Amino acid sequence: MSLNSVINCLVVGLLALVPNIGFGQADWRDRIGWTQLVTEYSGAPVTGAGVAISVVEGSDANGNYMPFDVGPLPPEFAGKTVINATGTNFGLSTHSRQVSRPMFGNVTSIANGATQVSVYSAGDWLDNRVGFATGADPMVHNYRVQNHSWIYSPSVADAQNMLHRIDYIAQRDHVTMIAGTANSGGLPRMLVQGYNMLIVGRIDGGHASGVTNMYGAGRTRPDIVAPSPYAGPPYYTSYTTPIVSSIATVLHQAATGTDAARSDTMRAIIMAGATKDPFPTWNRTTTRPLDQVYGVGQANVYNSYKIVEAGQFNGSLIEPASAIGNYGWDFVSNLSPGDQMHYDIVIDPGKEWRNVSFLLAWNIDVQDTDPSPLVFSPAVTLANFDLDFFDSSGSFLGSLMDQSVATVGNVEHLYFTSLGPGRYTVRVRTNMDYGYALAWSSIAIPEPGTGLVMVVLTLALGLTFRRRMICG
């Protein structure tokens, strides 16, 4: 049986082909913060225009993987250049269409400005572009975002070979790779157990979740969840995954020309922007950065856009002279084990930061040790970073409040529902010379009660003034 046929069986069996269903869940844009973003900016500040994207699609029973067949483009894709990058079957795959609509469709996607799209069959992509069948170096991927709404569980040895190559592509070419977990059962081996990509689940929690059991066991999956753009239930990760891909696409437009567009930084930005509000049971521990079902929470384009817009704040190896904003990010190309990077937070009296999220991300390092382009020989190294949070109000690094010190994986995460007035310090540490990305988001507001006090004082002053006007 061919690789493409095996992948096809898994796509049909686990990610579910849903023929010709219409858009439902009218509030899915509200859920991901798009309505809030559009309202605040009196229109979409970015639409993914100019961002090259790609879709890797499992072939259907007829070998089709394209979102439309030969002929005039459907209105949903009019004006777009959609390339059949595999170049074989040109028939319509309903599954591919339902994935593509929320990812880059004219009406049904927040990234409707994206017009340059390349579509591959999953078998061709793995065998020839990733180089599994040829043994050669993976081909260069000139895309900023690549969507994978398919799963596959080859042997452990083959899966690790493929994942080394895919993590290498994400690291080398800075592609934001986004893939769905299965809708039931255990975690599949592909692509869910990779490192340098985002794995997406569903907001109802009905997806396959748990910890990886190969290529670095014990890492929590999925990383993040999203709503479905289609009416249900049931819901499918096939269609929640392109929601996150559309978010990544608009963020890449905003991040153009900066280190925010790196694969590690963009992963941190998307994850730091996620919201926990829909999940009362969401939790993490000092050694488990993510929730065991919902990952970092529900993807939120508003928060993540505000992170990109806020710009880069440089950390300091010594006590910082200036504070970071309530949104922002940083990329550090190399931190040594003997050094510690610090970020100061200053919250003034009468103020408060709510839903404070810090996400530290770094790539697993995959280097090709064979100089020949015909042979890919990976050497893999994984750094271990730690993230600490201090109350520095009395003195710098005065008391440790929380930390994220997982010994597996390539993310650390801190979350506080509220931080009151004071000075705080975030510290990043590592066990080897390596680079990292840090992103954060929070809502800066007056402390609870402050607004009420001001209203009462204003009313009192107004009544006093009015009484004096009447009586005088």
CATH for 371: 2.60.120.380
E strand or H helix at 280: none
Strands (E), 315-421: 328-335, 341-347, 351-361, 365-368, 378-381, 385-391, 399-404, 411-419
- The arithmetic mean of pLDDT across residues 145-172, rounded, is 96
Rounded CA-CA distance 165/280 in Å is 38
* pLDDT, tens digit, 9 for 90 and up, residues 314-359: 999 998 878 999 999 999 999 999 999 999 999 999 999 999 999 9
pLDDT at residue 447 greater than cutoff 60: no
Beta bridge partners of 393: none
Q: What is the mean pLDDT of residues 42-52?
A: 97
Q: Tell me: the pLDDT tens digits for 409-433? A: 999 999 999 999 999 999 999 999 9
Give the residue with greater pLDDT, 463 vs 303.
Answer: 303
Residue percentage of the chain with pLDDT more than 90: 84
- Quick one: average pLDDT of 116-120? 97
422 falls within a domain: yes
Helices of type H across 56-178: 94-104, 122-124, 156-173
Q: Identify which of 133, 148, 152 has the alpha carbon closest to the alpha carbon of residue 54.
A: 148
Asked if residue 380 and residue 436 are part of one domain, the reply reads yes
User: What is the spatial distance between Cα 252 and Cα 328, in angstroms, rounded to a whole number?
Assistant: 15
Domain boundary pick from 273, 307, 341? 307
Average pLDDT over residues 395-403: 97
- Model confidence over 352-382: pLDDT tens digits? 999 999 999 999 999 999 999 999 999 999 9
The arithmetic mean of pLDDT across residues 133-162, rounded, is 96
What is the CATH number for 285?
A: 3.40.50.200
Residue 456 lies in a domain: no
Both tokens of residue 341?
A: 């990077």
pLDDT surpassing 70 at residue 174:
yes
Per the listing, tokens 């096809």 go with 8
Count of alpha carbons within 13 angstroms of residue 3, beta-carbon side: 18
Any domain includes 72: yes
* Residue 342 sits in the same domain as residue 296: no
Question: With contact defined as beta carbons under 8 Å apart, do 431 and 337 qualify?
Answer: yes
What is d(CA 249, CA 304) in angstroms, rounded to the nearest whole number?
12
Distance from C-alpha of 56 to C-alpha of 403, rounded to nearest angstrom: 37
Number of structural domains the chain divides into = 2
**Per-residue pLDDT at 210 exceeds 80:** yes
Answer yes or no: do 297 and 346 share one domain: no
Whole-angstrom distance, CA of residue 263 vs CA of residue 104: 20
Q: What tens digit of pLDDT does each residue of 239-294 get?
A: 999 999 999 999 999 999 999 999 999 999 999 999 999 999 999 999 999 999 99
Length reported for the chain: 472
Is residue 466 situated within a structural domain?
A: no
Cα Rg, the chain, nearest whole Å: 24
| H or E element that contains 468 | helix 450-471
**Judgement on whether residues 320 and 300 belong to the same structural domain of the protein:** no
Is residue 152 domain-shared with residue 295, that is, in the same domain? yes
Q: How many CA atoms lie within 13 A of 439 on its CB side?
A: 29
Separation between Cα atoms, residue 409 and residue 382, nearest integer Å: 8
Extract the tokens encoding 329.
Answer: 């990010």
Q: pTM for this structure?
A: 0.91
User: What pLDDT is stored for residue 3 in this prediction?
Assistant: 60
Q: For all residues of the chain together, what is the average pLDDT?
A: 90
Same-domain status, 186 and 229: yes
- What pLDDT score does 470 carry? 31
Considering the domain architecture, whether residues 329 and 425 belong to the same structural domain is answered as yes
Are residues 366 and 299 part of one domain? no
In a domain, 468, yes or no: no
d(CA 67, CA 69): 7
Which band of pLDDT confidence, cut at 50, 70 and 90, is reported for residue 465? very low
* pLDDT at 21 > cutoff 60: no
Binning pLDDT at 50, 70 and 90, where does residue 73 land?
confident
Partner residues linked to 441 by β-bridges: 357
Residue 274, Cβ density class (10 Å: 0-12 exposed, 13-18 middle, ≥19 buried): buried
Assess whether pLDDT exceeds 70 at residue 44: yes
Residue 200 has pLDDT above 80, yes or no: yes
Question: Three-class SS of residue 66?
Answer: strand
112 and 52 inside one domain: yes
pLDDT recorded at residue 448: 52
What pLDDT does residue 71 have? Answer: 75
Tell me, yes or no, whether 382 and 329 share the same domain.
yes
The two beta strands, 378-381 and 145-148, are: unpaired
CA distance 81 to 104: 11
Whether residue 470 lies inside any domain: the answer is no
Please indicate, yes or no, whether residues 342 and 303 belong to a single structural domain of this protein.
Answer: no
pLDDT higher than threshold 50 for residue 99: yes
Report if residue 90 sits inside a domain. yes
CA dihedral 302, 55, 132, 180 (to 10 degrees): 50
**Rounded CA gap, 331 and 262, in Å?**
9
- Give the pLDDT score at 227: 96
Among the candidates 307, 325, 353, a domain finishes at 307
Query: Is-contact 230 24, C-beta < 8 A?
Result: yes
278, 307, 336 - which closes a domain: 307
Instruction: Note whether 276 and 149 are same-domain residues.
Output: yes
3-state helix, strand, coil in the chain (%, to 5): 25, 25, 45
Model confidence at 8: pLDDT above 60? no
- Residue at 407 is within a domain: yes
434 is in which domain, residue-wise? 312-451
Residue 10 has pLDDT above 70, yes or no: no
pLDDT of residue 7: 59
Distance CA 298, CA 296 (A): 7
